[in-house]
Amino acid sequence: TQDGDAEALRTRVADLLAASRARSIALTDAVDEADLVAQHSPLMSPLVWDLAHIGSQEELWLVRDVGGREPLRPEIDGLYDAFQHSRASRVELPLLTPSEARTYVAEVRDKALDALGRSPLTGRRLERHGFAFGMIVQHEQQHDETMLATHQLRTGAPVLHAPAPPPGSALPAREVYVPAGPFEMGTSVEPWALDNERPAHTVDVGAYWIDTAPVTNGEYAEFVDAGGYDDPRWWSDAGWRHRVDAGVVAPQFWERDASGAWFRDRFGVRAPVVADEPVVHVCFHEAAAYARWAGKRLPTEAEWEKAARHDPATGRTRRYPWGDDEPTPRHANLGQRHLQPAPVGAYPLGASPLGVHQLIGDVWEWLDTGFHPYPGYETFPYPEYSEVFFGGDYRMLRGGSFGTDPSALRSTFRNWDHPIRRQIFSGFRCARDAGARDAAERGA
C-alpha cells in the first residue's frame, strides 16, 4: 500500500540520517576543542565549520523547505554558505563554538525528524520531498568524507582507528579489452541519483584497454624513482607548471627514510608505503603524467562507467560492477570501515563481468573528462549542487574511496575537483587505445 511504502521509506531515511550523524559525531568527538576550530590546511574548513554547515543545510532543506517551519538560526545562514566564504577564510569567521554547533545540529535534527514524520512522502510531493531527505543524507556523508580528509591533514596523536582491509590476491590479467559499442550511461531510475547523474543516455564508446586494478604504490614508485617528476615529457604544460611551482616531487604524505625507502603518514601513523595498495593522494596532473610515462592514458568518464556497468553478455547496464545488488563489505572498501585503500585483488566479488576490479571504493579515480551535463540534463532541485560548476576547471573522479559511504555513492555518482587537488582520497587506473589489430584478433 502507499501508506506502507511511505512508512518503510520513513524508517529507512531515519536509519540513514542516524548513521550519517553517528559518523559526523565520531569524526568530531575524537578531537579536542582547539583541534576542532583549527585550520589544518588552507584547503580545508575547520572541522567545526563542516559540522555546523551540515546542520545549516539540513535546516534550509528539511526544516524550512520540506517542513515549512520557521528558521531556527537565520542569522548564521551566511556563515555556513559555502559560496560566501572560501575554505581558507572560514577559520576567521565568528563560527559557532564546538558545543554550540553540537546543540545546533541536534536541534535541527529533531525538527527534521518531525518533518519526516509529517511528510506524506507519496503522491505529488514525493519526488521533491523524498529526494530532499536523500540529498541531506548524502550531503552529510560527503562532508564526513571531507572531514576525514581534514583528519589526514591534522598533526598530533592519532584519534581514528579501524581494522586493516582484507588481503590482496593475484589478478589473472593487468588489463582487459573492451570492444567498441554503445552502452547506456547515467540513470533515470536511481531514486537518489543527483541531477548531474541524469538522465540515462546512450554513449558510443570506441574499443579500449583498461587496467584491471588501480595503479599501485609499487608501480607509482617506479615512476618516481625513474625520474618521472624531473622529465617534462610526461607532463602537460599546466601539469608541469604546477609540478614546478608547487614543488610536487611524490604523492602527498610520502617521505623517504634515511635508507631511501618510502614512508607515509596516515591519520597520524607513520608506516612504510605498501607496494600492492592503490596509490592515493595524487592530483590529476600526477596521474596523467604516470599514465603517459607508462605508455598509456587516463580513461574517459564514459570508459570508466562502461567498464563498471556494461555487461557484454546481455548488453545491459548494471547498477554496480558485480550486478544490481547494493554494495556489502565483501564487494568494496567503502564507508570508512578501513582507514586506507585495500591491496589489489582484495575484492574478487566486486569485479565487473570483464574482470575489472576495485572500481567501487578504495580510491576515487581521476578521469580525463571535464564536468559537463549529460544530454537532457535538468537542474534538480538546486543549481548550487551541480550547475554552477559545469565547465569549470575540474576533472571527474569516479567510484568512491574507502572514506565514501555507500549511501552517498552509486556507479553513476559523479565527483569532480580541480586537477591540482590531492588532499582527497584520489588515485587512478590507466587505459589505452585499442588498435585495429586488437579488434581483428578478437573477431570484432
Would you count residue 39 as binding ligand AVJ (CB under 6 A)? no
Q: How far apart are CA 54 and CA 52, in angstroms?
A: 5
Q: Does residue number 317 form part of the binding site for ligand AVJ (CB under 6 A)?
A: no
401 is an interface residue for ligand AVJ by CB under 6 A: no
Helix 126-153 crosses helix 2-29 at what angle (to 10 degrees)?
A: 20
Residue holding cell 617528476? Answer: 229
- The C-alpha angle with vertex 399 and arms to 252 and 272, in degrees rounded to 5, equals 35
SS3 readout for 16-47: HHHHHHHHHHHHHHCCCHHHHHCCCCCCCCCH
What are the residue ranges of helices labelled H in 321-371? none
Measured CA to CA, the distance from residue 86 to residue 39 in angstroms comes to 12
Task: Give the CB-nearest residue to ligand AVJ.
Answer: 142
Residue placing its CB nearer to ligand AVJ in the complex, 133 or 322: 133
Q: Which of 150, 411, 415, 426 binds ligand AVJ (CB under 6 A)?
A: 415
SS3 state at 138: helix
**Which residue lies nearer to ligand AVJ by CB, 216 or 426?**
426
Residue 163 vs residues 1, 166, 167, 288, 331: alpha-carbon distances, Å: 43, 9, 12, 32, 17
Residue 20 touching ligand AVJ (CB under 6 A): no
Q: How buried is residue 104: exposed, middle or buried, by Cβ count under 10 Å (0-12/13-18/19+)?
A: buried
Q: Which is nearer to ligand AVJ, 180 or 388 (CB)?
A: 388
Out of 146, 212, 252, 426, name the contact with ligand AVJ by CB under 6 A: 146
139 near ligand AVJ, judged by CB under 6 A: yes
Query: Could you tell me which residues are beta bridge partners of residue 432?
Result: 209
Question: Of 82 and 275, which CB lies nearer to ligand AVJ in the complex structure?
Answer: 82
Which residue, 252 or 415, is less far from ligand AVJ as judged by CB? 415
Mark 349-388 with x for binding to ligand AVJ (rule: CB under 6 A) and - for no binding: ------------------------------------x---
- Name which of 66 and 294 has its Cβ closer to ligand AVJ: 66
Nearer to ligand AVJ, 217 or 401 (CB): 401
CB of 345 to ligand AVJ, least distance (A): 28
Q: Is residue 62 within 8 Å of 92, Cβ to Cβ?
A: no
Size of the site for ligand AVJ (CB under 6 A): 6
Chain positions 261 to 280 lying near ligand AVJ, rule: CB under 6 A, are: none
Supply the Cα-derived Rg of the chain in whole angstroms.
22
Decide if residue 142 touches ligand AVJ (CB under 6 A): yes
Closest of 283, 203, 297 to residue 249, by C-alpha: 283
Q: How far is the CB of 319 from ligand AVJ (least distance, A)?
A: 20
- Cα 37–Cα 39–Cα 40 angle in degrees, nearest 5: 120
Nearer to ligand AVJ, 148 or 215 (CB): 148
What are the angstrom distances between the C-alpha of 203 and each of 186, 206, 409? 10, 10, 22
Q: To the nearest whole angstrom, how small is the minimum distance from the Cβ of residue 389 to ligand AVJ?
A: 8
**Of 119 and 146, CB closest to ligand AVJ:** 146
Q: Which stretch binds ligand AVJ (CB under 6 A): 18-26, 138-146, 162-170, 295-303?
A: 138-146
Per-residue x/- track, 52-71, ligand AVJ (CB under 6 A)? --------------------
Q: Which residues bind ligand AVJ (CB under 6 A)?
A: 139, 142, 146, 385, 415-416
